[in-house]
Structure 1
Amino acid sequence: MSKHAASGRRRASAPVTPARQRNSTSSGRRRAETKTISVGGAAQKVAITAATSGLILTAALPTTAAAGDPAVQSEPVVATSTPVQADPNANVGFARAGLSSAFDPDAKLASVTVAAGSTVVPAAAKGTLSTPLDVALIETSGFGHRVSPITGEAGEMHNGQDFAATCGTAVNAAASGTVVFAGWHPYGGGNRVVIDHGNGVETTYNHLSSAAVTVGTEIKRGHLVGASGTTGASTGCHLHFEVVVNGEVVDPRDWL
């Protein structure tokens, strides 16, 4: 074959794939997808930058769909409310709950004396007896040994608690019970009233100017017993108040 013949042939070349035309819109979308912002302050800055550069900005919204699923789009949730109507003839009322105390001092008095008798500790007995005077209690001579205001001798045993009270001041029962004595006390108590509260507990009210109860009378806590005075072995108007448990005098202050 001649040189001319050989040169007249063209060498076969590989097929050329035509260059794919770039779509400015597609490019813009891809670029926009890389600019997804979900943060409030940063989103505003990126939105301004994207607007000036001709980019399309998409904002990411919260969704319950799987992350990265382009087929699922979140939709805005619209809150709806249904009006509630009541029967215009319905009777609606409001009642304020009342508060009450179940504390019963007479029941407590009975419980502590039944359980412990004369060995009741002050912490358990405290508050089981009410004060015998309506006026403020002013203690003058307390329970225990003292110098006798009558004879001046030391070591006298004072069996109760004295409270200052002008003559004629109302004296009340320290607890519910039965009057077992109302009369003259020959051992210095003057006009005296004794109330039995049960379970071995008694209270006595001494030096009264007058008594308002008689033996056998059933009385309630706070009932008028008499009026304070200065009868018997007394140096002035006052109330001598005693608490007796199973025949033994105890300090009244542990029970009031």
Structure 2
Amino acid sequence: MKGLTMLKKIISTAVMASSATFTMQAQADVSATVTLVSDYVYNGVSSTDGEPTLQGSVDWYNDAGFYAGAWASGLDEDSYAGAEIEIDYYAGYAGSISDSLGYDVGYAFYTYPGADDADGEYNYGELYGALTFNENTTAKLLYSDNYFGDVGSSLILYVSHTLSLPNEFSLTLEASHTKLLEDGGDMYFGPDAGDDSYNHWGASLAKSVAGFDLALSVTDTNIEDWGDIADARAVFSVSRSF
């Protein structure tokens, strides 16, 4: 199950490495990132059923604040109606209100090539907006009118705070609340049809070493009826940007 936002870029356990960028045109840059992750987890739920996978992204951005990109990851095909890969596209604008307050607004579209349409339409779009205070505290809101295909409209609230630690380590604490805004059919987060929301929380310890970004994360949810994919877990990521 997915939704990130480019939230997925904020709460994904994939680690963003320090970027080496090249100039596309005046005041515009492109970067590419490759990540090996021990488990693709979004909002506390595994999309690879606990298995490792490769992830990658290509991002364009300019000094005016506009950006666009694409991100891809492997999937557990049994959980995604035969789809073995997720490819997401996104575009937005980021700026600042003051020296201590920044914002980010945009649109993301999530696709699952190869998914069997007989199991429903998986592709969907999502609007998002975020505020960041002092570059380390973020609140983000994501809205979809067709969450995960045929489920219906949804709202996700995400918050995170990053602490700088000795020896150039950083610790990020995060939490999110996912809410279905209408009847979601079989997409419920517990044994009862009324379980239309769930909470996720996690922590990630990160450090850059020799041009690679490393992170060890722990995550959990209060979902009761999804088996192992929503249980507490630890995730390791290593990432490099070019």
Interval of TM-score (by shorter of Structure 1 and Structure 2): under 0.3
Please report the TM-score for the alignment, with normalisation by the length of structure 2.
0.22
User: Higher relative contact order at CA 8 Å, sep ≥6: structure 1 or structure 2?
Assistant: 2
Please report the TM-score for the alignment, with normalisation by the length of structure 1.
0.21
Q: Please tell me whether Structure 1 or Structure 2 has the larger radius of gyration of its CA atoms.
A: 1
